[in-house]
Structure 1
Amino acid sequence: MMKSASLVWVTLTASLSATPVDFVREVRPVLEHHCYSCHGPEKQKSGLRLDIKSEALKGGDSHAPNILPGQAQDSPLIQFITTDDEDMQMPPKGARLSTAEVAILTRWINEGAVWPDGVDLAKSVDKRDHWSFKPLPPQQGSLDSFITAKLQEKGLSLSPQADRRTLIRRLYIVLHGLPPSPEEVESFAADSDPRSYEKLVDRLLASPRYGERWARHWLDVIAFGETHGFEVNTPRPNAWPYRDYVINAFNNDTPYPQFIMEQLAGDAVGTDAATGFIVANAALLPGQTGKDEESKAKARQDELNDMVSITGGAFLGLTLHCARCHDHKFDPVSQADYYSLQAIFSGVRHGERPLKSKEARQNEEDTATLLPRLTKATHQLLQYEPLAASGALRPPVHSHRNVDRFPPIQTQKLRFTILATSQNNLNEPCLDELEIYNTAGRNVALAAPSVKVSASGSRGGIKHRLEHLNDGQYGNDRSWISTTKGSGWVQVEFAQNESIEAVVWGRDRLDAFSDRLPVEYLIEVALADGTWYKVSENSDRKAYSGPKERQLLSEPQDPALVAAFHAAKGELSTLEGQLRTAKSGPMVYAGKFEQPGPAFLLNRGDVTQPKQEVPPGAVTAIGTTLNLASDTPEQQRRIALAKWLADPAHPLPARVLVNRLWQHHFGEGIVNTPNDFGRNGALPTHPELLSWLASEFIRSGWSIKHMQKLIVMSQTWRQSSAPREDGLSADAQTQLLWRYPPRRMEAEALHDAMLAVAGTLDLKMGGPGYSAFAPNSNYVRVYDPKPSFSPEDWRRMIYMTKVRVAQDSTFGSFDCPDAGQAQPKRSRSTTAIQALSLFNSSFVNQQAEIFATRILRDAGPVPEQQIRRAFALTTQRQPGEDEVAACQTLVKDHGLPALCRVLLNANEFLFVP
């Protein structure tokens, strides 16, 4: 920064005084008068705080450290208060520091910036000193004992147990999101077995309906959607396997550490769909990010921010994204921690990849033996290939596999030059695996530290990287593309001279793509004197006749060789087929992976201002330390983070998860900010209970079903929900749980319950979902609600394709998240739109008509029996005589569908009792 004339004067004169500057008497008043308004206890602009020693000497987000003891002229603090640049000078408004004040600060810094301990007007806050960051203490007691202890402090007690009809309805709605059948209710109400309630709990937890209910809660936490969002909002047709994965994980009671590992590194443990967690958020499509490199980099930073944010919120209950531009203002998360976490995910890109079957995964695991066998089979067939320029007319080039065989020659370098492509040079040429065989049958081009690969220009990105040219993996996703249309060259240098005799290459060795195929090319080797010598070219091949013509191997004329030829050809075909199986299969939107480059801390989050390089890591102030090198393989980074999160000694993941379980059983968490357990979040109503539950969760082997059974078996959960005068006076919000808090069902449960009582619910599980919107094929998607619904739309709502920022016409108004952002806690509103939707929507009217048909079928023509059956299905009880009389009048005047419509709108049907 340019030094001003006044700074030079101050520097010359500051040394004239022999008395050391006194911080308290001389320095602090200057800082207090001019600096504290922006860099004091109330505000810390640019992350700089000057009223606390440790913070001031550390410096702000930019130019840190701002105070360099002994170096006033180089200290940003002095430069800012003396510069003549109006955009940089401090204070930015009001009177500037006098010459004498500048001299005081200058002398103080040159004298070593002595700041005595214990003189700060404010105390530095230890961000780690917070209840949620402390280890889980040993706990004794029971769930009910913690609740009753809090109630006794307020002079309250638990309410009596709810009746059995209420309990079975409550259990079904909370665990399944569906009402019980009248037959199940009557059986349970009459069952005198003292273990009947526990048996019912076990049966509900073992049902596949359980996973369909609880998966929805997790999908809210991570903002799962099946469209890209933003303006275009195009579909992600293969995102649904992640939804099915979550359903199955809950049904299987997957231990929580495994659940974490699968979602962060499912590609390493055989659950490919699970990594849909990392890319669950909205994302810009390539055409929306801008064409200049800065715009692309900013869009990429937003993607990485989402990955860090979703991981921090879901597993840690921390707002990690707040450290993107500066150290977290409230929690012990530094900006370096944030970018180290970004480095964990910097090799993950939005996109689809093959969803491997069990057999395909096995094939991939066998690649270590498969590729050497493939190499051997290829070399066996070389003897049947005509030599280049031998006079024999060779087959035309093909996208799958081409062989250029030539007399053995000694060389240390080979260059493959592309002169033209199959599409009149309109596209950049592409090469899949480039194999170079020596006379011993070894592919000497295969990637190794001693093999060097270079090119005229490489596109880069997720696919088509130069390192893919010889990585031993086939397919378009692992290929190289030149940056020059119609031409380009690649060069392979070996560790030593090799006697080579063939080059095997293709555009896509898995036969998926045939564009960008080189049809005119030149293969050369470097001689000892440094000159290049041509060993093969395309001129002796047949004329290219299109991508469908597969290269045929030349069958030998000698009958004695025919059997060996076909055996070798069959072996090669079988091995290529196995490799193709390992690479093919249905697709899943679960991210694509590549080895990332170095990661840097960005000054104030600006991609144009990289600062120091940071290694992959986690939050250094919490849990154990991740000691990962900057070149740690991409997959290993995610595995390491998953293990860090699942460490039983880590204070947060268990606390955060059991709080989520509590929230969905009681309607409110012990901490009512479920994604913020930091210093800016809410305090727990029952901190000892939360710690006890977390400890029990770990002790149980991280079993979610165990914790849910523990909750629903408690006296606290089995209470009546009836209001009491003393409870309402002391605790109107029922935070202390003196009764079970009644609440309206969520949108999905309302939808599913209507289908269930109408008898139309389709319990088909898994697979692509149904749509609540009319079809359209516009580039910019417009999601108009369907005007009518058919049996294909009568599956559970979790199978409805989740469109971002577009809601189902009936149930979207019931506080249903739109997947625009994570919503770990739904609001519960009461609006006129909700009432209108429930009473007038085409869906509700349709189901009311079908419900009436069911009643007629079940109860016959007698109106009283019809009414009793309708009540049993919707409210799990029999109506009183006054209710029967009123309903008979309604049915007589308006018909049975009207009664069904009224019952589907009744609070008793809509609420968890």
Structure 2
Amino acid sequence: MEYVADRIHTTTTAFLGLTMQCARCHDHKFDPFTQRDYYRMFAFFNGVPDRVVGYNTKKAAAPFVAALTPTQEAEQARLRAALAVVDARLAERKAQAGADVARWEAGLSAEERVRLARAGAAVRFALDENQGAEVRCSVDAERKGKVVGTANWKPGKMGSALEFDGRTRVEAGEAVAFETGDKVSIGAWIFPREAGAMAVLSKIDDQAAYRGFDLIFESGKLAVHLVHRWPDQALKVITQTAMSLKEWHHVLATVDGSGKAAGVKIFVDGKAQALTVEKDNLSGSLKTAQPFRIGQRSASVPFKGLIDEVQFYRTELAAAEVAGLARGELVGGLMAVIDRPAAVRTVAETERVLRYFLETVDSESRRLTTERAAFAKQLAAGEEGVAMTMVMQETDEKRTAFLLRRGQYDLRGEAVDAGVPESLPPLPAGAPRNRLGLAQWMTQPGHPLTARVAVNRWWEGVFGVGLVETVEDFGTQGARPSHPELLDWLATELVRTGWDVKAILRLIVTSATYRQTTAATAELVASDPQGRLLARAPRFRLAGEVIRDQALAVAGLLSARVGGPSVKPYQPPGLWEDVSVERKYSYVLDTGEGLYRRSLYTYWKRTCPPPGMTTLDAPDRETCVIRRARTSTPLQALLLLNDPTYVEAARLLAERVLGASADADGKDVAACVRRLYQLVLAREPQAREAAVLARVQGEALARFRADPEAAKKLLAVGKTARGVGSDDIELAAWTTVASLLLNLDETITKP
């Protein structure tokens, strides 16, 4: 319920400039909104499923959609079209291959007949060692596994078996690995002793959104996971019937390579099981650096019981073949099938021979299969680099919303349908009563609020205060617009241009009003101290993000890269530990470019936001904040003087000035001061200003000559290496001057 209330607050405040949250417990005391209006809006968001996200920092809330660039979208469409063409050719070749199969069977050499008589699993861990802590693959001696924990050998279904006590597992490297588009079969004999979650076979990374695959025992049922990123890019099917405990069962899963739940089958004791599909949105690679494991995932759900005869096939076994495995037979001996007349072979036997011919003998099918694998690999690689963005979705079953008396969840009143406040225009004709319809309602051309609220916030961003000063409240308790006609015109322009944000911002910043000087006569200041009449250009303290980015930019440090993951720039140590559970999460400082990216990309932990931003009035993002406060405190000055970001920026700025001056040894103080002003303030210094900075530079020079260690300590701040050839004393003195200039009121204030 609180999630829904937060969404109403955020949506109505950000897009409509309303205080709808005031109508949660009773009718709004000032604006024309009833409590019923509130809960009708509540109904729009009541169908959004709320998932709990744990402390796994590598796992975000689902669902996701791919945020493809036009180039990526075109490339993926090309690859999918190419895959469709290849699949059609493979199907055509399969339909035409009957005569070729017959000729191939008739022409088999003696050597080929022997090899076909031995054909079988790609990987087989029989677990018949009965001693030691190493298990061997009976198909390929190079593939071995190591028992981690205590190796207890017991009588098995076929020979010996390995006992798993919750602390034992087998790790076998890359012995078993496959990708989304591969046809495979994987299974084992198991003797489960408990009904809880237990991994039978896996190659999965619990700490990386569960990427990989597994065959897992869940409450007596058997499940298969194929995961690129759980839960939004994953496939999961689970049997509908539970197995009995403390007896042997043969379990096996087949995958047809389609990446769809319909292409996965689970067999128990040789019989195909009815499945429940829990996830069916797999895309992307299954590749993970985690080893193939028997009896556990990478860090969870250990198996308790016995496991025997682990087998992996690089093909989708037929039902008859699986049934044979459950009877204790080994899949192989293809020659025995070929020796039978075609007329008396079963459908499964005919399919098996045809599949073998196409996959290993027929040059055209092998060429097409290789071509398909290349396209699939390109598609998976492209999907790997695609940015994902969180979205909302509706629950399968519609939830009923109720008017809650006094806002209490347990005091239900009448049921209400989704709808908009009666004092505002109705939903457009034909609009659905869901979030899509709400979006269509908010963006209809005649809506009295959405466009006005939007342009007012952009105006505030440029001028420091909105045409309506209370950007978060357009109700009766909000401020009156200072220029109502201008607000109306900008709103209509926004709609006319097709909601073109750049066009409106360009219109504002190229206007004669914005291009005025900030200078004002005493009479003008007296009559309009806040500049609300727009008779002069705005002047206000920059946002914390802009102050940091500006310092990095003038120092030549700011990265111009666009997009990418969040970064962790300088921050005092120990803050994350103080607010994390069991002090288990630490802030790991980035290196290289990550330290100098725009503040937009700074990693934001809401329980411990970046102190350099909050000191400069950035909100903590715990709740929706429309209008930032602007304060002026001693702590802000201390931050700008001592934070490693600004100290390092001052040093690099000093190096930049010294390197560009006419006299590289720094004796031409006037030239260096002039260059500093040009870089930081984009103007020439006045004579009085130049004299002050020259005096500061001289005093700093004398101080550092008397205390060289202080100079070295100052220059050691920051990860960027020192420039070659600079003198410590000289550079430290100019770093002090550069720091002073970065802290000027003129520097951190919008001119």
Same fold (TM over 0.5): yes
Within 5 Å, give how 1:318-717 maps onto structure 2: 318-329=18-29, 330-332=31-33, 334-343=37-46, 345=48, 350-351=61-62, 353=64, 355=66, 357-358=72-73, 362=77, 425-427=195-197, 477-481=234-238, 510=259, 519-520=268-269, 522-523=271-272, 545-546=309-310, 549-553=313-317, 557=338, 585=384, 586=386, 588-591=388-391, 593=393, 595-602=395-402, 603-604=404-405, 605-608=407-410, 614-619=416-421, 621-625=423-427, 637-717=434-514
Which residue identity is paired with 2:196? L
Structure 1's 752 and 335: CA in aligned 2 closer, same or farther, altered over 3 A? closer
Structure 1's 584 and 740: CA in aligned 2 closer, same or farther, altered over 3 A? closer
Structure 1's 912 and 647: CA in aligned 2 closer, same or farther, altered over 3 A? same
Which residue identity is paired with 1:869? R
Answer whether contact 1:674 1:824 (CA < 8 A) is retained: yes
Structure 1's 725 and 592: CA in aligned 2 closer, same or farther, altered over 3 A? closer
Match of 1:900 in 2: 738
Structure 1's 730 and 592: CA in aligned 2 closer, same or farther, altered over 3 A? closer
What's the CA shift for 1:314? 2.4
What's the CA shift for 1:475? 9.6
Within 5 Å, give how 1:107-506 maps onto structure 2: 301-329=1-29, 330-332=31-33, 334-343=37-46, 345=48, 350-351=61-62, 353=64, 355=66, 357-358=72-73, 362=77, 425-427=195-197, 477-481=234-238
Question: Percent sequence identity over matched residues?
Answer: 25
Structure 1's 796 and 621: CA in aligned 2 closer, same or farther, altered over 3 A? same
SS at match of 1:827: coil
1:870 and 2:676 correspond? yes
Match of 1:855 among 657, 660, 664: 657
1:826 and 2:628 correspond? yes
What's the CA shift for 1:910? 1.3
SS at match of 1:819: coil
* Residue-pair matches, total: 521
| Aligned mates of 2:308, 2:7 — CA distance in 1 | 47
Structure 1's 595 and 882: CA in aligned 2 closer, same or farther, altered over 3 A? closer
Match of 1:216 in 2: none
Match of 1:812 in 2: 614
What's the CA shift for 1:478? 5.0
| Aligned mates of 2:89, 2:475 — CA distance in 1 | 55
Q: Which has the higher contact order (CA 8 A, sep 6+)?
A: 1
| Aligned mates of 1:827, 1:422 — CA distance in 2 | 61
What's the CA shift for 1:765? 1.9
Answer whether contact 1:419 1:518 (CA < 8 A) is retained: no
Structure 1's 483 and 614: CA in aligned 2 closer, same or farther, altered over 3 A? farther
Structure 1's 379 and 852: CA in aligned 2 closer, same or farther, altered over 3 A? same
SS at match of 1:714: coil
**After the TM superposition, which of the residue ranges 361-370 and 789-798 deviates more from structure 2?**
361-370
What's the CA shift for 1:708? 1.9
What's the CA shift for 1:858? 0.8
Answer whether contact 2:680 2:741 (CA < 8 A) is retained: yes
Match of 1:840 in 2: 642
Match of 1:176 in 2: none
SS at match of 2:400: strand
| Aligned mates of 2:272, 2:637 — CA distance in 1 | 75
Greater strand proportion: 2
Answer whether contact 1:746 1:814 (CA < 8 A) is retained: yes
| Aligned mates of 2:736, 2:537 — CA distance in 1 | 32
Answer whether contact 1:744 1:912 (CA < 8 A) is retained: yes
Within 5 Å, give how 1:788-799 maps onto structure 2: 792-799=594-601
Structure 1, unmatched stretches of 5+, are: 1-300, 385-391, 405-417, 431-455, 469-473, 489-502, 526-542
Answer whether contact 2:47 2:399 (CA < 8 A) is retained: no
| Aligned mates of 2:265, 2:241 — CA distance in 1 | 11
**After the TM superposition, which of the residue ranges 872-881 and 374-383 deviates more from structure 2?**
374-383
What's the CA shift for 1:782? 7.6
1:785-806 CA-to-partner distances (Å, cap 9, x unmatched) read 7899865301221122222243
Match of 2:718 in 1: none
Answer whether contact 2:568 2:594 (CA < 8 A) is retained: no
| Aligned mates of 1:593, 1:699 — CA distance in 2 | 31
What's the CA shift for 1:596? 3.0
SS at match of 2:401: strand
1:746 and 2:552 correspond? no
What's the CA shift for 1:607? 4.6
Match of 1:910 among 717, 736, 748: 748
| Aligned mates of 1:322, 1:507 — CA distance in 2 | 55
Match of 1:803 in 2: 605
What's the CA shift for 1:591? 3.6
| Aligned mates of 2:522, 2:47 — CA distance in 1 | 54
TM-score calculated relative to the size of structure 1: 0.48
What's the CA shift for 1:902? 1.0
SS at match of 1:479: strand
Which residue identity is paired with 2:698? K
1:521-555 CA-to-partner distances (Å, cap 9, x unmatched) read 64589xxxxxxxxxxxxxxxxx9744755445587
Structure 2, unmatched stretches of 5+, are: 53-60, 102-117, 125-175, 201-217, 246-251, 275-306, 318-331, 343-349, 701-732
What's the CA shift for 1:728? 2.8
| Aligned mates of 2:5, 2:597 — CA distance in 1 | 35
SS at match of 1:890: helix
SS at match of 1:599: coil
Answer whether contact 1:428 1:482 (CA < 8 A) is retained: no
| Aligned mates of 1:421, 1:378 — CA distance in 2 | 43
Which residue identity is paired with 2:3? E
Answer whether contact 2:64 2:391 (CA < 8 A) is retained: yes
| Aligned mates of 2:119, 2:496 — CA distance in 1 | 73
Structure 1's 865 and 901: CA in aligned 2 closer, same or farther, altered over 3 A? same
Which residue identity is paired with 1:839? L
